[in-house]
């Protein structure tokens, strides 16, 4: 059965206190009485053709995205957690001070970092990065594997040179830490790019 949820007349106050602006959701979503599982997400047809769907679905069940100190994965989530994950995608409100902008960017980049860092060791190793690139190219058939490796390697070299600078030939580059990740995507303007527009709408409609 297709996973469609919509918001009923209320948004839980608990969620509201977690996020600055309670995300309001479009009329297409209706409230599921029971908690979501991973299989429910697989029922969405459009998601099937998305190359990184596994990682997206995983992100919903990753406790690191629910709270600051969370760790590990869960098997089912409630609506609250769903909204918390979605709240990472809220667009920035315009009059933003620099600290606010920084914190928003950190939050969104943290989300991305968690998506890449699947074993939760605080670092994106080469294997994990390769996996990311492979997934991205997974739709392109046979030629993906080799070139994916090459691309991932080149990308790691780039990160190394940006964060660590000049390296001796026998130095080791362990992996991308969160700080390096921040530095890497410093010019990316993630606060406006990583946002879904519907979270801006003010209407809360009733379930159809």
Instruction: By CB under 8 A, name the binding residues for another protein.
Output: 3-5, 25-26, 28-29, 41, 44, 46-47, 49-53, 56, 86, 89, 91-92, 94, 112, 115, 125-126, 132-133, 136-137, 139-143, 146-147, 149-151, 153-162, 167, 169-175, 184-185, 187-188, 192-198, 200
| Nearest to another protein of 122, 150 (CB atom) | 150
| β-sheet bridge partners, residue 37 | 76
Closest distance to another protein from the beta carbon of 170 (Å) = 6
| Nearest to another protein of 29, 69 (CB atom) | 29
- Contact predicate 15/80, CB 8 Å: yes
The residues, any chain, with a CB within 8 Å of residue 110's CB and separated by 6 or more, are 178
Nearest CA-CA partner of 59 in 36, 92, 30, 34: 36
Closest distance to another protein from the beta carbon of 3 (Å) = 7
Tokens of 81: 């957690």
Closest distance to another protein from the beta carbon of 146 (Å) = 6
Closest distance to another protein from the beta carbon of 50 (Å) = 5
Would you mind telling me the total number of residues written for the chain in this entry?
208
Closest distance to another protein from the beta carbon of 198 (Å) = 5
The backbone region for 24, taken as left when phi is positive above 0, alpha when psi lies in -120 to 50, beta otherwise, is beta
| Nearest to another protein of 69, 152 (CB atom) | 152
| Nearest to another protein of 69, 169 (CB atom) | 169
User: Residue 113 and residue 181: Cα distance in Å, rounded?
Assistant: 8
| Nearest to another protein of 17, 94 (CB atom) | 94
Q: Which helix (H) or strand (E) holds 150?
A: helix 144-163
Residue 201 backbone dihedrals phi, psi, to 5 degrees: -75, 145
């Amino acid at each position: 059965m297709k996973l469609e949820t919509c918001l009923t007349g209320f948004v839980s106050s608990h969620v509201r206190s977690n996020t600055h602006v309670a995300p309001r959701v479009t009329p297409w979503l209706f409230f599921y009485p029971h908690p979501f599982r991973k299989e429910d997400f697989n029922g969405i047809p459009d998601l099937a053709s998305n190359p990184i769907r596994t990682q997206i679905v995983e992100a919903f069940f990753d406790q690191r995205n629910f709270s600051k100190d969370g760790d590990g994965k869960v098997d089912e989530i409630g609506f609250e957690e769903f909204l918390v994950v979605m709240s990472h995608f809220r667009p920035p409100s315009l009059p933003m001070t620099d600290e606010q902008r920084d914190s928003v960017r950190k939050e969104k980049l943290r989300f991305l970092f968690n998506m890449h860092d699947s074993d939760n060791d605080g670092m994106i190793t080469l294997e994990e990065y390769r996996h990311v690139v492979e997934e991205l190219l997974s739709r392109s058939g046979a030629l993906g594997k080799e070139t994916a490796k090459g691309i991932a390697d080149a990308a790691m070299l780039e990160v190394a040179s940006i964060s660590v600078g000049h390296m001796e030939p026998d130095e080791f580059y362990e992996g991308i830490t969160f700080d390096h990740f921040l530095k890497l995507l410093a010019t990316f303007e993630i606060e406006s790019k990583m946002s879904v527009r519907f979270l801006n709408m003010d209407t809360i409609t009733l379930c159809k």
